[in-house]
Amino acid sequence: MKKLIILLFIISHQLLAQTDQFLVRVEGLGCPFCAYGLEKKFRKVKGIKQIKIDISNGKMTYEVPATNLMKLTEADALVTKAGYVAKGISVLRSNGKTEKIGEPDLVVKPTKMGKQSAVFKVSGNCEMCKARIEKAAKSVKGVQSAVWDVDTKLMTVSFDNSKLKLIDIQNAIAKSGHDTELQKADDSTVQKLPACCQYR
């Protein structure tokens, strides 16, 4: 019985020692504080270790136990939740197989800090939507201007990315009841919009 327990311990230890090696190319990193915020999101996942982030080329690497069976889409979702964009992800599995999405070999230059502009889609129908969407975007500290086009459904924003991330603006718009490219509004919030604003 003692030998069986020792054997099971050795097998379980070997399984834990096997890891999947992830490489993620992240767009939007501009400073050590950005890297810290990204690392913090990944550290919440049990088992992830050896996280290394190189801002100069947008490269993040980490290991996760093979038993976790972490998917590339899960890594992508974590990057998005941190407020950044994964341009490519690859993983070398413990069994030697490689998987990838996007362009993991792409070198991503650091994002300049300060005044930035961005364009993204926001769902809506009318002038009432326009007023609501723009108000929500402008309510975020650090947003300098926000204009939504009723016809193209495109939002153009100017903001200071040393004070906020683009995802913060999209979160505020989604909370007002309008879907964005990265955030969906709650069904209950959309249902409370006036009839002319019901885009779903």
What phi and psi, each to the nearest 5 degrees, are found at residue 185?
A: -75, 150
For residue 158, list its beta bridge partners.
117, 145
Report the pLDDT value the prediction gives residue 4, as an integer from 0 to 100. Answer: 47
- Beta carbons within 8 Å of 99's beta carbon, 6+ residues apart: 72, 90, 91, 93
130 neighbors 148 (Cβ within 8 angstroms): yes
Q: What is the mean pLDDT of residues 28-36?
A: 86
pTM of the model: 0.61
123 neighbors 183 (Cβ within 8 angstroms): no
pLDDT tens digits, one per residue of 61-93? 999 999 999 999 999 999 988 888 999 999 999
pLDDT tens digits, one per residue of 108-152? 988 888 888 999 999 999 999 999 999 999 999 999 999 999 999
Instruction: Identify the structural domains of the chain with CATH numbers, from first to last.
Output: 18-102 (3.30.70.100), 115-195 (3.30.70.100)
Whether pLDDT at 54 is above 90: yes
